[in-house]
Amino acid sequence: MIDLSTIPDETLIDLVHSLLSNGVTPTTIAYVLGIDADLLRDVQSEIRVRQFGTDELDEAMDFLMWRAYEQANNILRSGTTQEKIRAISMVLSKAVGLAGRRPPETFGNIREELAKLAAASLADGGAEDEPSEFLVSQL
């Protein structure tokens, strides 16, 4: 342990703030300097609130996700064509990845609902309509 009595209070406070701000854990600082770890955790919490507006990671992530959503909307509204394409591609690739994680019964339920919708459409007389001029069979 270091003898802290020779270090001026302001210097010690600056040192602790710098260490905490640069990723050194309160437990490590407490061990090396012989300071109460709970006190250091409180100081770390204050630093995070000053830097990020919160010391709760869930709140910070929620805030970042909403900021990213807002930025994506701005890009889609007023970005260049290239920026829009890139943003849309990222969203669609993430959507495809999430769809792959769905349980198989989800897709079965979707197929059943589509079949019911198609059957209801045919029952309402959809089969009796004339084929569209845009069908391949009409060419």
For the residues of 61-99, what is the DSSP string, one character each? Answer: HHHHHHHHHHHHHHHHHHS-HHHHHHHHHHHHHHHHHHH
Is 81 a domain residue? yes
> What is the average pLDDT value for the chain, to the nearest integer?
81
Structure confidence at residue 4 (pLDDT): 78
> 70 and 29 in one domain?
no
Give the residue from 13, 29, 55 where a domain finishes: 55
Provide the number of structural domains found in the chain: 2
Structure confidence at residue 126 (pLDDT): 47
> 101 and 74 in one domain?
yes
Q: Taking a C-beta distance cutoff of 8 angstroms, is the pair 54, 60 a contact?
A: yes
Is it the case that residue 42 has pLDDT exceeding 70?
Answer: yes
> Which tokens belong to 90?
């990222």
Range(s) of the domain holding residue 67: 56-121
Structure confidence at residue 31 (pLDDT): 92
Is it the case that residue 127 has pLDDT exceeding 50?
Answer: no
Name the residue with higher pLDDT: 76 or 96.
Answer: 76
Is 114 a domain residue? yes
Q: Taking a C-beta distance cutoff of 8 angstroms, is the pair 41, 29 a contact?
A: no
